[in-house]
Amino acid sequence: MKRKRVLSGLGALAFACLSAGVLAATGRKPPPTVSAAAPNTTREFTIAGFVEYYPFTETSHAEQTRGLAASGLNWIDLPLTYSNPGTTTANLNADTFDWDAFNTLSGELGVYFSMTTNNNSYSGAEIAKAVARAGDLDRCIAYYVKDEPSSAQIPAVADAFKQYRQADPGRFPYVNLFPNYAGASNLGGSYEDYARQWVAAAGADNLEYLYFDHYPFTQNAGSVRASYFSDVETIRKVAYENGKLKTGGYTQMGTWNGMREPTPDEARWSMNSLLAYGMKSISHFCWVAPAYVQPPAGEGMGNHVLTSTGAETARYAPMQRLNWQTRQLGPVLMSIDTAHAYHTGSAPSGTEALPKNFLLQPANAGDNLIFSLCYGKDGGLYLMLFSKELSGSKSYTVNADTSTGMTGLTWYKPDSFDVLPTPSAGLELPAPQEVPVPFSDGSFTVELQAGEMRLYRIEGGAEIKEDLKAPTISHKSGAYVGRQSVTMSAPDAGTEIYYTTDGSYPTYRSARYTAPISIGADGQTSFHTVRAIAIRGAEITEPAVSELIIADASVNAAQGKAAYFQTANGVPIGTETFNGSGTAGSVTDGAFDPFNAYGSADGKPGF
């Protein structure tokens, strides 16, 4: 039986009055403000749920939406998608859905939503229809474009993305990227190559979020997928080096083929591990379990936060509270940029180990923690401390180097939310309590649950001097077909990039990078060595180097042609993504393996 939590009008009034009284009594400082940055159409921390609805024969769409808002979700990213047990996860019709009524309800609940097309198509005609439907719906903030595009699909998806941006600059389109285990044929190279390809194709200035998924809990109980943190670090780094883009990620809230059902501790771990890397938006995969479809046609989805018929699981109440706590920390989280996520204990491959000279150190070098160093838009320093343990709780002692000028920490302590807020228009959560953490004898002690994250402000004006980093060149060394547009970026503020394309060592007298540079020419094969340095004052980095072979594009018969694929038994299918969803209209030189793609008997990909 599904359990319902209702906060009465009297309870809501008491909660509001208590919040105001606590703020007045404690004299808390307001959270740091979020500075405007393009495109910046959202300044709130957003939490969504991918599949958010179960069958409306159980509970109406409107009542389920109220339940989502009560659970702390403030972004309905797929309002038409619902679990349809016994068949597949289904979609309502975008053309007949009552968007005006949904917009009114969303305003009453203080939530936002995305506009989608029928069957998540991104044809020009469907994009135009979606933009027209969005119209003046004030709670509609985004357009869902594509889930997990392959490298070959990125040009077409980026084109659709830009069509949305151009047609409606006031709302943001968004795309969710593959994880690294999608394989080279989908990624087109390394995971970093793939992420940078998307940023370059869409344009960093156009991106509201760099969104991705990677699910950590395989059937190997008590462990995390070895490549998980490598992906999270890649997304953090690529975003940071492209103007400190906002990032978003998907949590793992359930079980499916090859993946275990998370415990409540692991569910908390999944969300907070993303926060520790600076994520500004979370989507739970999934809030409602997708319908179970037997492999190979489907992924064998099991329980998530709610089952596919709306029953609560053990993750429901804990994740409701964590959603509200995260939103309460949201103004601070949105005002900081995570420059490093340092691991203690065993640092996973592809991550940064805690430097020995960092201003905070665990007393026990084997402690399984992440120290995230964050720079505030207000000029301050911030720290997130995350426990990588998967179960239980543990006490940690952390030593502090007070010679750096650091005098203490201030912990942003969220409320327990034993009684959940009542969602409403204009709801303002109380600011988190600011708890001083002094250094007694140069250290402090903290008790952390498995997967818990604590957010601190570093007090005392400590300065951290970081080495100037070399620029990043969009194209790694290798062979490319046809003229290439090469971009460069420097992760450090106040730097200028100088480059050469003839292999010589660049100096401040070399060409200064101001815009993408064209390398090679169609109709000929040529060789180029691109070198780039970053300069800031008297500081000069080592050069970044990319050796490029530009092949003759005129003989590439595949380029720009319409794609047609079929399965091994001759059933026509589209160009599929990793989980079998979505198609692309054309490819250039992408790879597709019909023997490893799942399709149903009618040739349509399964969920």
Q: Tens of pLDDT along 312-370?
A: 999 999 999 999 999 999 999 999 999 999 999 989 999 999 999 899 999 999 999 99
Confidence check: pLDDT of 571 > 50: yes
Per-residue pLDDT, averaged over 6-13, amounts to: 30
Q: Which residue has the higher pLDDT, 343 or 520?
A: 343
Average pLDDT, integer, range 278-304: 91
Summarize pLDDT for 447-466 with one digit per residue, the tens. Answer: 999 999 999 999 998 878 77
Query: Which tokens go with 330?
Result: 């949201």
Instruction: Output the average pLDDT for the chain.
Output: 85
Cis status, amide bond into 286, omega within 30 of 0:
yes
pLDDT of residue 461: 84
Model confidence band, residue 552 (pLDDT cutoffs 50, 70, 90): confident
User: Residue 371 in contact with residue 344, Cβ under 8 Å?
Assistant: yes
pLDDT for residue 532: 96
Tell me what pLDDT residue 554 has.
Answer: 62
Q: Which amino acid is at 113?
A: F
What are residue 272's phi and psi, to 5 degrees? Answer: -75, -25
Flag whether pLDDT at 444 surpasses 80.
yes
Global pTM exceeds 0.95: no
CA distance 107 to 243: 32
State residue 184's pLDDT score: 87
| Helices marked H in 27-169 | 61-70, 99-109, 124-134, 154-167
Residue of higher predicted confidence among 34 and 235: 235
* pLDDT tens track for 98-114: 999 999 999 999 999 99
Q: 502: which residues sit within 8 A by CB, 6+ positions away? A: 528, 529
Q: With pLDDT > 70 as the criterion, what percentage of the chain qualifies?
A: 84
Distances (CA, A) of 603 to 115, 118, 257, 569, 606: 27, 19, 22, 11, 9
Tens digit of each residue's pLDDT (9 = 90 or more) over 118-151 = 877 778 899 999 999 999 999 999 999 999 999 9
Higher pLDDT, 363 or 3: 363
How far apart CA 144 and CA 120 sit, in angstroms, is 8
What is the tens place of the pLDDT at every residue in 145-176?
Answer: 999 999 999 999 999 999 999 999 999 999 99
pLDDT of residue 7: 29
Side-chain half-sphere exposure of 216, counting CA atoms within 13 A = 29
pLDDT greater than 50 at residue 16: no
Mind giving me the DSSP string for 306-352? B-TTS-B-TTHHHHHHHHHHHHHHHHHHTTEEEEEEEE-SSPPTTSE
User: What is the per-residue pLDDT for 555?
Assistant: 55
pLDDT, position 570? 54
CA 603 to chain centre: 32
Using CA atoms, how far residue 421 sits from 29, 48, 315, 588, in Å, is 22, 17, 19, 51
At 146 the pLDDT is 92
Question: Is residue 581 scored above 60 in pLDDT?
Answer: no
Please check whether residue 281 is in contact with residue 44, taking contact to mean a CB–CB distance below 8 angstroms. no
